[in-house]
Chain A
Amino acid sequence: DAGVTQSPTHLIKTRGQHVTLRCSPISGHKSVSWYQQVLGQGPQFIFQYYEKEERGRGNFPDRFSARQFPNYSSELNVNALLLGDSALYLCASSLRTGNTEAFFGQGTRLTVV
């Protein structure tokens, strides 16, 4: 069975640009969450989606947005990129919101120059 897949694996963008990151959850999983991990820190919660609705949001500016599609895949969008947005972006899927296990993808490494 395929795990959580994220694309692209690496990305380099210029300050001020826009970026879209993609995530496909494990088959049968209906909840997708996004996390940002900067060097030396633990992952920080950005968004949680379940059944195409936003169920939770972390402390991130409005430049960050996300959505979930009918097939439960998800996109994370970041506008007006800043140097500080450089990080590993992780997607996690779970059967349903409230599930005690979240399975993570390998992440997308975003570098803003």
Chain B
Amino acid sequence: DQQVKQNSPSLSVQEGRISILNCDYTNSMFDYFLWYKKYPAEGPTFLISISSIKDKNEDGRFTVFLNKSAKHLSLHIVPSQPGDSAVYFCAASRWLSGGGADGLTFGKGTHLIIQP
């Protein structure tokens, strides 16, 4: 049972335009959400996160939106640049009653291709 879903395996966007990557989740217990970017032969690189008490978080060109009622989040990249071409993973976690947080649950990823 996949608790975090990224339904688009790939996405092609023209340089300078907006890239929108989507993620859906099924576990209402998740407390915060993260986006990671991964290049081949490298580990995932943290991009941006959002707590479940917020609906938006911005960091430079990256903005994450969270819709808790729809169990949906999205990552917006504006403007898209050639270096943004990579696989993007959505991840989620929850706080534990004994303190700390559970391990991250990842989606399968979306391959973003920025075309010149």
Chain A min CB distance to B65 (Å): 17
Is B49 an interface residue, CB under 8 A from the partner? yes
Q: Which one of A40, A97, A103 contacts B99 once the chains associate, using CB atoms below 8 Å?
A: A97
The residue of chain A having its C-beta at the shortest distance from the C-beta of B104 within the complex is: A45
CA distance A92 to B101 in the complex (A): 14
Nearest Cβ distance between residue B66 and chain A, in whole angstroms? 13
- Is the C-beta of A98 less than 8 angstroms from some C-beta in chain B? yes
Query: Given the complex, which residues of A lie within 8 Å of B105, measured CB to CB?
Result: 45
Query: Are A106 and B109 within 8 A (Cβ)?
Result: no
Contact B108–A106 (Cβ < 8 Å): no
Interface size class of A (residues with CB under 8 A): 20 to 34
| B59 CB to nearest A CB, Å | 12
Cα separation A44 to B109 with both chains bound (whole Å) = 12
Please choose the segment from A13-21, A48-56, A61-69, A74-82 that sits at the chain B interface, where 4 or more of its residues have CB less than 8 A away.
A48-56
Interface string of A33-61 (1 = CB under 8 A from B): 10100001111111110100001101000
A107–B40 CA distance with the chains assembled, in angstroms: 11
A48 vs B103: C-alpha distance in the bound complex, in angstroms? 7
- Cβ–Cβ contact A102 & B46, under 8 A: yes
Which B residues form the contact surface with A (CB < 8 A)?
Answer: 4, 6, 32, 34, 36, 41-46, 49, 51, 89, 91, 95-96, 99-109
Q: List 27 A-B contacts (CB under 8 A).
A: A4-B43, A33-B103, A35-B103, A35-B106, A42-B4, A42-B109, A43-B44, A43-B104, A43-B106, A45-B102, A45-B103, A45-B104, A45-B105, A55-B96, A56-B100, A58-B103, A92-B43, A92-B104, A98-B101, A99-B101, A100-B34, A101-B49, A102-B46, A102-B104, A104-B44, A107-B42, A107-B43
Interface residues of A (CB under 8 A from B): 4, 33, 35, 40-48, 50, 55-56, 58, 90, 92, 96-107
